[in-house]
Amino acid sequence: MNNEIEKVKKILVDFKQEHLLQFIDELSLANRKKLVNQISSINFTLVNELFRNSTVSITSKPFVERNITPINCDIIEEFSESKLMEYRKKGINAICEGRIASVTMAGGQGTRLGYNGPKGTFQIGPPIKKTLFQLQVEKLKNIHQECGKWVPWYIMTSNENHNDTIKYFSDNKYFGYSEKDILFFMQGMLPMVDFNGKVLLKEKDEIYFGPDGNGGIFLSLKKYGLLQDMNLRGVEWVFINGIDNALVKVADPVFIGYTTMLGKSSASKSVAKKSPDEAVGVFCLENGKPSIIEYTEIPETLTKEVNDDGQLLFGDANIIAHLFRLDDIVNIAEMGLPYHSAIKKASYIDKNGKKIVSQEPNAYKFESFIFDAFKYLNNMGILRVQREREFAPIKNSIGKDSPEAALEQLMLYPL
């Protein structure tokens, strides 16, 4: 153990992060190993670079310096029934031929819902009494019943909920799904640093890590060998969604058919904003490339701008339902995505070994976003779907975007 400690000590001296071993002599052997392993996993060169760039990320650039213009979308309600059936048939055929995989981002906990456990295991109801994972697996099972093909389902967890998520599926016998076609992998993590660039200690034996954002999904799929797994299975297209949306149409055949028949290289679903001031990210073009601009970034004047038909120019809200070609995902994983910095409140261990619960923002968190991958793609489609049928996010315990609100929609539009 002493040799390992000396090795990381040299690294920490080089990067002026020696404080991370300040309490090593107080720790048990097991906790020393834990801390040393965490330190060894950190790319300090990257962390230093992210810290230096933390004040000049794209999200901090003044809006007037960003070339933001509206993006066109197709509206599902404007397609004829025969066209929708044609899209659906095309999508089902792609699934039956094994060319489709599905990925669910489920690294979060149910803390904001007052629930102790992985968010995907949160149950909605009564009377439905189904978890978010159950709602998604049942949609995938319905596809299997139609074409006899199990869609390979890759579930991204986090360090915090990985074991609990696997146990949940195991305890429930994978809800009758093919066990070999559900694969779990973990989201990447990056250390949080204070305003001086020092990596924070969450505990004396623990680095303060934060998830690396939904854009980290590409690197994580590569790291765990799942891009290779998809390739061996003959997958060509990958549907990516979040766990929050109780109404998400996982591996939606209509969406797949729409994308492939119209020759799109990728596509995302949207819903029309309820009002100009709705707090959602919206699709746009930035420097002529598809992107998403967050509600905190777009000037109020632009949120209210309308076209000749009275529709909002920036009115397509992101619902985290994306379809990518596998070869594009492989390329994105190779190139990597830029990291954005956010200022957060973080409790930490100070130099005296005291736990400090910060009441003010005191740390930088680094993360990448899926929408930064859009700029690498050509001919991206935006399909505006019906909010009441496809978007019921669960983010708050009560009120807007709550389980109760989602339940009302689920009762109207069941599987």
Q: Give φ, ψ of 106 to 5 degrees.
A: -135, 45
* Dist CA 315 CA 226 (whole Å): 35
Residue 66 counted as domain residue = yes
Clarify whether residues 64 and 210 are in a common domain: yes
pLDDT of residue 64: 55
Average pLDDT over residues 356-378: 94
Residue 311 counted as domain residue = yes
Residue 112 counted as domain residue = yes
113 CB burial (10 A radius; 0-12, 13-18, 19+): middle
Q: How far is CA 242 from CA 135, 265, 281, 374, 393, in A?
A: 13, 21, 15, 17, 9
Q: Are 76 and 252 in contact (CB under 8 A)?
A: no
Residue 262 counted as domain residue = yes
- 307: domain CATH number is 3.90.550.10
Q: Are 382 and 74 in contact (CB under 8 A)?
A: yes
Clarify whether residues 213 and 350 are in a common domain: yes
293 sits in which H/E element: strand 289-293
The total of other beta-carbon atoms located within 10 Å of residue 188's CB is 21
The total number of residues written for the chain in this structure = 415
Structure tokens that stand for 345 in this block: 């409140």
272 sits in which H/E element: strand 266-272
pLDDT of residue 56: 54
Average pLDDT over residues 34-51: 96
Average pLDDT over residues 391-412: 96
pLDDT of residue 2: 87
Measured over the CA atoms of residue 356, residue 361, residue 362 and residue 367, the dihedral's sign is positive
Average pLDDT over residues 374-389: 94
Clarify whether residues 94 and 30 are in a common domain: no
Average pLDDT over residues 146-153: 96
224 CB burial (10 A radius; 0-12, 13-18, 19+): middle
pLDDT of residue 60: 46
Task: Count the domains in the chain.
Answer: 2
Q: Are strands 266-272 and 206-207 parallel, antiparallel or unpaired?
A: unpaired
Structure tokens that stand for 90 in this block: 């095309």
* Dist CA 285 CA 322 (whole Å): 16
Closest CA to 370 of 149, 213, 254, 238: 213
Average pLDDT over residues 24-40: 97
Average pLDDT, whole number, for the chain? 95
Clarify whether residues 225 and 306 are in a common domain: yes
Q: Are strands 348-349 and 123-124 parallel, antiparallel or unpaired?
A: unpaired
Clarify whether residues 308 and 173 are in a common domain: yes
Clarify whether residues 249 and 341 are in a common domain: yes
Q: The tokens 């190779």 sit on which residue?
A: 334
136 confidence band (pLDDT: 50, 70, 90): very high
Residue 46 counted as domain residue = no
Q: Which residue range forms the structural domain that includes residue 9?
A: 1-41
Higher pLDDT, 401 or 54: 401
Clarify whether residues 365 and 341 are in a common domain: yes
Q: What angle (nearest 5°) sits at the alpha carbon of residue 217, between those of residues 176 and 180? A: 25
Clarify whether residues 381 and 293 are in a common domain: yes
pLDDT of residue 296: 87
Residue 165 has pLDDT above 90, yes or no: yes
Residue 225 has pLDDT above 80, yes or no: yes
Residue 47 counted as domain residue = no
* Dist CA 258 CA 276 (whole Å): 28
Clarify whether residues 33 and 74 are in a common domain: no
Q: Are strands 153-157 and 182-186 parallel, antiparallel or unpaired?
A: parallel
* Dist CA 312 CA 305 (whole Å): 6
Clarify whether residues 34 and 140 are in a common domain: no
pLDDT of residue 415: 74
Segment 51-65, tens digit of pLDDT = 998 855 444 455 556
3-class secondary-structure state, position 358: coil
Clarify whether residues 13 and 124 are in a common domain: no
Average pLDDT over residues 104-109: 97
pLDDT of residue 211: 95
Q: Are 108 and 245 in contact (CB under 8 A)?
A: no
* Dist CA 199 CA 271 (whole Å): 40
pLDDT of residue 378: 81
Residues in Cβ contact with 288 at an 8 Å cutoff, skipping those fewer than 6 apart: 67, 69
Clarify whether residues 116 and 239 are in a common domain: yes
Residue 341 counted as domain residue = yes
Q: Are 149 and 173 in contact (CB under 8 A)?
A: no
Average pLDDT over residues 198-221: 97
3-class secondary-structure state, position 121: helix
Residue 374 has pLDDT above 90, yes or no: yes
Residue 259 counted as domain residue = yes
